[in-house]
């Protein structure tokens, strides 16, 4: 089985850059996605194929990959970016979400 | 526009079953698979499984094997997730999500979630 490990929390001030990492052996052989979830809402896809951003997602959200770690970067974090963030990946028949990272912007 | 509309909240007793529906519209139903994800109160997202809406093939998380069944009704464009032998720790919001255009797995279109409460 595969696991994806994220920090439980990240905190930044408005306007700063937030970086959230996701680590796991599976990431060396397959892509990751990033989702944002606010309380009481369904998740929103932010990044797919490690670095691609769907239409409608602000440019301040970007993804990168190196070896067995992918990183979600929020450049110039805004108060409305305060949310939970989850990485996701799949290989063979194994599919997994990371444990989630609570981003605080204040 | 693409929409996934899920059935309403359910309250079940331990040992019972629940069947959650996810009605799709705005696209060709059989062109995209459906993933089911759940989230217990205050917890993270948990992948439950995926169904190929074209041929009905499924891939279930090992944790739910033998207890979950995912099906579709292509005539109405609806996906279903049935979970049996419910326990209190199955209390969660259950989400369906459509595949992306270029690969399987949850993409940008999700249902609103269905809260299932298991309590005696």
| Chain A environment of B6 (Cβ under 8 Å) | none
Percent of chain B whose predicted confidence (pLDDT) is above 90: 93
- Give mean pLDDT, residues B77-101: 97
- CB contacts of B70 in chain A (<8 Å) are none
As given in the structure block, the two tokens for residue B55 are: 């041929």
Answer yes or no: do B95 and A1 touch at CB < 8 A: no
DSSP helix/strand/coil, B81 = strand
CB contact under 8 A, A42 and B61: no
Residue B24 clears pLDDT 90, i.e. is over it = yes
Query: Given a cut of 90, is residue A94 above it in pLDDT?
Result: no
Q: What is d(CA B58, CA B60) in angstroms, rounded to the nearest whole number?
A: 6
- Spatial CA neighbour of B44 closest among A94, A37, A106: A37
Q: Is B52 on the interface with A (CB under 8 A)?
A: no
Residue B43: predicted pLDDT: 97
Q: How confident is the model at residue A68 (pLDDT cuts 50, 70, 90)?
A: very high
| Chain segment A4-32, per-residue pLDDT in tens | 999 999 999 999 999 999 999 999 999 99
Under an 8 A CB cutoff, do B100 and A48 touch?
yes
Q: Say what the pLDDT of residue A93 is.
A: 83
**Statement: residue A92 has pLDDT above 90:** no
> Is pLDDT above 80 for A1?
no
Closest to B62 (Cα-Cα) out of A101, A6, A93: A93
Q: Is the pLDDT of residue B41 over 80?
A: yes
Work out the average pLDDT over A54-64.
97
Number of H helices and number of E strands within chain A?
0, 9
Report the distance separating Cα A83 and Cα A105, nearest Å.
9
Strand partners, A69: A23, A66
pLDDT, averaged across chain B: 96
Q: What is the model's pLDDT at position A64? A: 97
Interface membership of B27 toward A (CB under 8 Å): no
Q: Cα B43 from chain centroid?
A: 17
Testing the interface with B: which of A33, A42, A52, A103 to mutate, by most B Cβ within 10 A?
A42
Strand, coil or helix: B43: coil
Give the closest of B45, B46, B103 to A43, CB-based. Answer: B45
In this prediction, residue A89 carries a pLDDT of 96
For the residues B41-57, what does the mean pLDDT come to? Answer: 96
CA dist., res. B6 & res. B113, Å (int): 6
Q: Which of B3-17, B55-69, B92-106 has the lowest mean pLDDT?
A: B92-106
A2: confidence class by pLDDT, cuts 50, 70, 90: confident
Handedness of CA A6, A10, A15, A16 (dihedral sign): negative
pLDDT in tens, B98-114: 999 888 889 899 999 99
A32, A52 Cβ separation under 8 angstroms? no
pLDDT of residue A9: 98
Residues 6+ apart with CB under 8 A from B94: B6, B20, B36, B37, B38, B48, B81, B113, B114, B115, B116
| pLDDT reading at B84 higher than 80 | yes
At B103 the pLDDT is 84
């Amino acid at each position: 089985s595969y696991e994806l490990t994220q920090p439980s929390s990240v905190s930044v001030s408005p306007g700063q850059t937030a970086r959230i990492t996701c680590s796991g052996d599976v990431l060396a052989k397959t892509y990751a996605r990033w989702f944002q979830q606010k309380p009481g809402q369904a998740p929103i896809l932010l990044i797919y194929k490690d670095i691609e951003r769907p239409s409608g997602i602000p440019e301040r959200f970007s993804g990168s990959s190196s070896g067995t770690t992918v990183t979600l970067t929020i450049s110039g974090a805004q108060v409305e970016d305060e949310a939970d963030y989850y990485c996701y990946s799949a290989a063979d028949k194994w599919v997994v979400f990371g444990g989630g990272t609570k981003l605080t912007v204040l | 526009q693409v929409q996934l509309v899920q059935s309403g909240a359910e309250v079940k007793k331990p040992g019972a079953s629940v069947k959650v529906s996810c009605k799709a519209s705005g696209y060709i139903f059989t062109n995209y698979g459906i993933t089911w994800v759940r989230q217990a109160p205050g917890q993270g997202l948990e992948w439950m499984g995926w169904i190929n809406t074209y041929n009905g093939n499924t891939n279930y998380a090992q944790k739910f094997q033998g207890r979950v069944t995912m099906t579709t009704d292509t005539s109405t464009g609806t996906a279903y997730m049935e979970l049996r032998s419910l326990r209190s720790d199955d209390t969660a919001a259950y989400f369906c999500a459509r595949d992306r255009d270029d690969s399987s797995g949850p993409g940008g279109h999700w249902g609103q979630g269905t809260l299932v409460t298991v309590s005696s």
